[in-house]
Structure 1
């Protein structure tokens, strides 16, 4: 709507000062001609907006024309800009609205608080979408150290225990920021120029160095996080598995294997009687070895495909039966 666009122009000018017409047009996704018509409409409505001609010209508001929100502390202003990930807003249908909302809030903040609020929006990201399983863990005592390095743009020295082999290694990291993912804090950083993800609860010790960060130019936290997230979420060549699950345990089965579901599934209570006593569930796993976890459900969950997995489960079941056959 035009009224929203007029307000956005005022807020952009309040926040950034003089801006070229083509910059405003790009931000608002309209033509330069439309921007100039909107500026004329603002001027006719009494808004002290004016244009400056020449190569260094643009559009600006008279000094002093701005609205402040009084009473906000620096920490309160920063808290307003600790954001959910773009993916979460998109899932809620609010992807376009968040940019407009942030412009309005930023323009209304007291001028001294704007730099810290802007920094928080680029250094802290909350991503509530679950990984492929795994319980949440409490934050490490060193989280404050990680946060200090993030906000002061300093390098970090870490002693870190890896989850796959338990080995402890030391790293000099160049942080982009922190991400809160499904109850766990992660440090997103470069190590020797390559993006790395460090779980905060596996940091054994952390120290902020006097050296400034050496991040790759032109990259923000959200971009590096998206690359690292995809390495985990986008399974290369997933193994599709079809399982027939008894209706009585379907709810528990879906909760356990929620991260492995290949698509939406109908709750057990909503299945028609003619569907039979078993429901067909489509899953995907990283490997056949990972899919063997289905054996935990015994005969309540029968793998229908692939045949290779059926044979592997049969071998494991036979081995277990033989182990317990003599009763010792």
Structure 2
């Protein structure tokens, strides 16, 4: 749910004492179904509200109409800000709402509430074709708790090659990348990421986390993800794309596409990243209607081979001869390379 609606519902409950889903829907200009789902999400997140069933029922804050937000326990305050999650960084209005909510909390709870709100970053796009994990990893809650409390963690870890080690880290935040979970941590070797599903044991310590000055979880993850993508897709292709194909190109390539300027004929300069020449040529062959690859030569040669194979398989002998004649004329027109 959106954090601005969450705050609005809580303030509405505080003001009226009891509300129905229909009243919330009318007040917030959303559907009754959305209002009911938001109220249930608050309940599941641990916010101190409860439902009164039957005629004359509705939703109330625990403690009645006199309860205010300063009545939250530490656990409830953390749950509230965890429910806010990624929305805290969406707009200035959302950030302002969170600041007001923090001021309504008792002083001992504010630090952990703010830490909870900043402990999670959501990156919805998966790594390539990585498999979907349907359940959160085993030690996710323990690691996120250490992030919120600001304490170091000792854990057993298995790397991608199966090597086992014991590590002590300064956990700085949790990132959900598609369906995979990572902990971003400060270590003796600098900022590192660890997949939470590879953690085998967790032992929080009482030692405080050393947080790099100016650390921002979302910005740090963008830099990490960009570096990982560069390693996963080291090949860069330069191409020109017709304006009508840009939407399809963005949809198919996502973060692997960089868009440049438009040239004199309206086509747009683009850079496309891929794993290798063969795989990338196969991927781009279906976009020939809109896309002209200009470099590197290896990808252009792969596309030429793909075109020849397609004509050979699906065309007759005359088609093959015509294609080969056209290819020869094209080579001659290009002249010798400088």
TM-score normalised by L of structure 2? 0.52
Stretches of structure 2 lacking an aligned partner (at least 5 in a row): 1-66, 313-338
Name the counterpart of 1:155. 153
Name the counterpart of 2:279. 292
Pick aligned residue for 1:260 from 249, 252, 256: 256
Output the CA distance in 2 between the equivalents of 1:216 and 1:71. Answer: 30
Name the counterpart of 2:295. 306
Query: Quick one: structure 1 residues 280 and 168, their matched pair in 2 at CA, closer, same or farther if it must change by over 3 Å?
Result: farther
Pick aligned residue for 1:140 from 131, 137, 140: 137
Query: Quick one: structure 1 residues 176 and 291, their matched pair in 2 at CA, closer, same or farther if it must change by over 3 Å?
Result: farther
Query: Quick one: structure 1 residues 191 and 170, their matched pair in 2 at CA, closer, same or farther if it must change by over 3 Å?
Result: farther
Output the CA distance in 2 between the equivalents of 1:253 and 1:228. Answer: 24
Structure 1 residue 130 corresponds to structure 2 residue 117:
no
Name the counterpart of 1:241. 238
Contact 1:188 1:221 in 2 (8 A): no
Pick aligned residue for 2:207 from 212, 220, 232: 212
Shift of 1:283: 4.4
Name the counterpart of 1:170. 165
Shift of 1:178: 1.1
Shift of 1:289: 1.5
Measured on the aligned residues, the alpha-carbon RMSD in Å equals: 4.5
Name the counterpart of 2:79. 79
- Secondary structure, counterpart of 1:257 in structure 2: helix
Q: Deviations over 1:191-247 (max 9, x none)?
A: 32411012223x1413215362553553545264454345346799972432669x8
Name the counterpart of 2:177. 181
Output the CA distance in 1 between the equivalents of 2:273 and 2:157. Answer: 30
- Secondary structure, counterpart of 1:80 in structure 2: helix
Stretches of structure 1 lacking an aligned partner (at least 5 in a row): 1-66, 265-274, 323-328
Contact 2:81 2:114 in 1 (8 A): yes
Pick aligned residue for 2:102 from 106, 130, 142: 106
Runs of 4+ in 1 over 6 A off after TM superposition: 233-238, 249-252, 316-322
TM-score normalised by L of structure 1? 0.54
Output the CA distance in 2 between the equivalents of 1:250 and 1:228. Answer: 27
Output the CA distance in 1 between the equivalents of 2:257 and 2:94. Answer: 30
- Secondary structure, counterpart of 2:81 in structure 1: coil
Output the CA distance in 1 between the equivalents of 2:96 and 2:252. Answer: 39
Shift of 1:186: 1.3
Q: Deviations over 1:233-275 (max 9, x none)?
A: 6799972432669x8x9977653322223239xxxxxxxxxx9
Contact 1:85 1:125 in 2 (8 A): no
